[in-house]
Chains A and B, each alone.
Chain A
Amino acid sequence: MDFQLNCPIPISQYPVITMAHGSGGLLSHQLIDKMFRPLFDNRLLDEGHDGAVIEFATGRIAFTTDSFVVNPIFFPGGNIGNLAVNGTVNDLACCGARPMYLSVGMILEEGLPVEDLWKICLSMQDAARKAGVIIVTGDTKVVEKGHGDKIYINTSGIGVIPEGVNINPSSPREGDVIIINGQIGDHGVAILSAREGLGFETGITSDTTALNGLVEQILKETIEISVLRDPTRGGVATTLNEISTSAGAGIVLEENSLPVSPEVRGACEVLGLDPLYIANEGKILVIVPADLAGNVLNTMKQHPAGADSAIIGRVTSEHPGIVRMITSIGSSRVIDMLTGDQLPRIC
């Protein structure tokens, strides 16, 4: 990320966001004209309508929305801006769609440094370019100091589903194989380590990245994909529980096959956390029929976002709705959903 470009709004004039930036008046227009439009530059946005008018050929589209409220807004490996773009891009990709258009809604807290907003928008521009999507419409509101937490971003997105692709979360069948595209837990631990007061430093960076390129390659290999899901909040354990419940099928994981970096493992040991429940922002679970698994795995490994891909488990007709793990010592335990957030343990 190149932060050399200077914010076009002179700091001496408006160092921080004020209520006037959300008034719809001159300062609102200054944000739009000097920051959003030049950065997110595209024909649809430039038309300046209340909404973007898009021509579609007939077919199926995917449509999704996600809101981002991360604290801190800047963390190792990213910030709330690229997180917001990648998150929605990935949700579309998991529908089997080719992500195309995004909307961006921002809620800014009075007092947010304009320079921070500029950095966030720069990284949104960068993430959108990398993912091959354009930001075609947006909205900005400002709330009084203390009524928000610096910045909240909502992104919605539209993608086109290629002919023949049909990803359906209830479709996994007995014997299907579960693949993940790399090491788990990086994002959550990066956020934890960046939080004030934690007092430990790690070299772990967030894995936030767009996965649509990887998904495109997988779908080129085969469209016989049962499930694509990004295990974000709640981690791999929660996502697999959701899949298991909606499919009415059991899932068996192999602890020894789970890719976890030594840094994440170490941090989790110290804090009493389980990497299986920690958020990821650049991971995808791919469930495919067993006879296709080898080819899909090879395809994934050849993509930069899938170099560390690994088979981590399979679908079974035994214990429907339950996720079970074969532990590293060969025993078996249930991996269930947590009641709330994972809380660091005292002992």
Chain B
Amino acid sequence: MKHLDEYRDAELVHKLSQQLQDTVSREWTIMEICGGQTHSIMKYNLTEFLPDKIRLVHGPGCPVCVTPLEIIDKAIRIAQREEVIFTSFGDMLRVPGSEKDLLSVKAEGGDVRIIYSPLDALKIAHENPGREIVFFAIGFETTAPANALAVKEAKRRGISNFSILSSHVLVPPAMEAILSSPSNQIQGFLAAGHVCTVMGYEEYIPIAQKYKVPIVVTGFEPVDIMQGIYMVTKQLEEGKHEVGNAYGRVVTREGNKAARELLRTVFRVSDMKWRGIGEIPSSGFSLSEDYSVYDAEAKFDVGDIIQKESPLCIAGEVLQGVKTPDACSAFGDQCRPEHPLGAPMVSSEGACSAYYRFKKSGLV
């Protein structure tokens, strides 16, 4: 497949692997931020190509994994309402709330539908004027513009039976939260290529300087990821801490101006809770005042739901790379892929789920 196969080229991966071997002289811990990158690393088992001295830590960049428990519970409460058609991306349906997940709500008769674009939800709203259509708007800066567009469209077309349950999170504040933690072990970052497609990479420059960490904007194919790791390692070895771009075919310094403008119009930056990490100041998007009537939390009065995570779950420490999943007392016992306590056990690339499968197989 054109524009894809060249970035899955075995020879190039091997060449980069050799370059890394030749470059690295001591142990380094690098975090890939994005869940999509983690997925690729698992899918191609890229750790096979890394020197033993490079340790990769899977970051909190899977929107499914970091959506807080109380938002899931709010989603469940809303989806159970008779008048509501609850729409969501597929992989949110199996994320456990404090009592059940959205798949169970569907099995109990709730009208829960998987969609592939927020504009599909708007279409359903237009076609069902007697129902209330709620879209579970989660994601990082990558998905936020499409969600913003749906809300803007709803306003423009005067569609009032549409609202979003918003849980948007932002990458740079999460990086800062990790870096400023006393237990931080991360020495370099692969920044999320698609987030930077929208936002550019200017906002990472002060972070790299303040915390003295190299940050390299990285894509998602094996060659991209190997290239990103090589560029971070090279800087680490040379004692540099700059922002590099290994995804130049897509990402520019200033990003997508139209998308950023759209985000500024529809959303405002707000404090946000992250599952397993806690509240991070200015780390999310909420609807701006002009669009607040599209806020499902207010519309269905679920603002009072506050939930604590399972006390056994150490997802937060896992997501920050402080602990490995098998350090958890619930791992493989109370918490398994078919019965997850925390989000990293839900999606197949979640750190706990991946660890569980590889450990079970005895191949690692």
Contact = CB atoms under 8 A, between A and B. Distances in A.
Interface in B140-186: 140, 142-143
Interface in A306-347: 319, 322, 324, 327-334, 336, 338-340, 343-347
B321 interface: no
B357 A336 contact: yes
B358 A266 contact: no
B143 A346 contact: yes
A197, A332, A347 — most chain B CB neighbours (10 Å): A347
B222 interface: yes
B139 A347 contact: yes
B42 interface: yes
Contact of B14 (A265, A330, A340, A343): A330
Contacts of A197: 113, 115-116, 120, 123-124
A198 interface: yes
Interface stretch (B86-94, B271-279, B287-295): B86-94
A199 interface: yes
B116 A199 contact: yes
A262 interface: yes
A327 B91 contact: no
Given A197-B120, A198-B116, A347 B10 contact: no
A322 B358 CA distance: 10
Interface stretch (B33-41, B76-84, B306-314, B325-333): B33-41
Contacts of A200: 116
B13 interface: yes
Nearest to B192: A347
A199 B121 CA distance: 12
Contact of A262 (B1, B46, B92, B103): B1
B112 interface: no
B8 interface: yes
Nearest to A321: B361
B1 A266 contact: yes
Contact-residue size bin, chain A (C-beta under 8 Å from the other chain):
20 to 34
Contact of A334 (B124, B143, B222, B361): B361
A196 B194 CA distance: 28
Interface in B115-132: 115-117, 120, 123-124
A53 interface: no
B300 interface: no
A343 B346 CA distance: 11
Interface in B345-364: 347-348, 357-358, 360-363
B111 to A, nearest CB: 13
B4 A269 contact: yes
Contacts of B269: none
A338 B139 CA distance: 24
B362 A331 contact: no
A271 interface: yes
Contacts of A327: 43-45
Contacts of A347: 34-36, 39, 61-63, 139-140, 142-143, 194
A339 B117 CA distance: 25
A319 B362 CA distance: 8
Contacts of B348: 338
Contacts of A338: 348
B22 interface: no
B108 interface: no
A343 B63 contact: no
A52 to B, nearest CB: 38
B361 A329 contact: no
A256 B91 CA distance: 28
Given A329-B10, A345-B91, A347-B139, A339 B337 contact: yes
B117 to A, nearest CB: 7
A322 to B, nearest CB: 5
Contacts of A344: 89-91, 114, 116
A199 B117 contact: yes
Nearest to B87: A197
Contact of A331 (B36, B46, B64, B358): B46
Interface in B89-112: 89-94, 103
B261 interface: no
B89 A333 contact: no
B48 A336 contact: no
A338 to B, nearest CB: 8
A197 B113 CA distance: 10
Interface in A262-311: 262, 265-266, 269, 271
Contacts of A330: 10, 13-14
A245 B363 CA distance: 16
B63 A331 contact: no
26 contacts: A197-B115, A198-B116, A200-B116, A269-B4, A319-B361, A322-B362, A324-B363, A327-B43, A327-B45, A328-B10, A328-B44, A329-B13, A330-B13, A331-B46, A332-B363, A334-B358, A334-B363, A336-B357, A339-B338, A344-B91, A345-B347, A346-B63, A347-B39, A347-B61, A347-B140, A347-B143
Interface of A: 197-200, 262, 265-266, 269, 271, 319, 322, 324, 327-334, 336, 338-340, 343-347
Given A333-B42, A344-B91, A345-B90, 13 more contacts: A197-B123, A199-B120, A200-B116, A265-B1, A271-B116, A324-B363, A327-B43, A328-B44, A329-B8, A332-B48, A344-B89, A347-B35, A347-B36
Report, nearest first, the 5 A-B pairs whose CB atoms are least far apart: A343-B90, A344-B90, A331-B45, A331-B48, A346-B89
